[in-house]
Amino acid sequence: MRFLPSRIYVKYHYEYFSGKKLNLKNPQEFNEKIEWYKVYYRPKILTQLADKYEVRSYVEKKIGAK
């Protein structure tokens, strides 16, 4: 099911495991807000911070090698 767009995949996944409908337009519960972040919050730095080697170089640039 990963071939689906992220918004649709997250809805199916959430409903399957929680048994509740997911409201992405107005999330009220904490888990709904987490799912909203998965779909809509995509800053460029997350890609870099997800890779352990890239994050090392990022930290080295920010605070130094030590």
Residue pLDDT, tens place only, 4-32: 898 999 999 999 999 999 999 999 999 99
Q: Which residues contact 24 (CB under 8 A, 6 or more apart)?
A: 7, 10, 11, 32, 35, 36, 39, 40
Q: What pLDDT, on a 0 to 100 scale, did the predictor assign at position 47?
A: 85
Give the whole-angstrom CA distance, residue 33 versus residue 29. 6
- Do the beta carbons of residue 35 and residue 17 sit within 8 Å? no
Q: Render pLDDT for 37-50 as a digit per residue (tens, 0 to 9).
A: 999 988 888 888 88
The pLDDT of residue 2: 72
Q: Where are the beta strands (DSSP E) in the chain?
A: none
Cβ neighbourhood burial of 14 (10 Å; 0-12, 13-18, 19+): buried
Q: What pTM did the predictor assign? A: 0.67
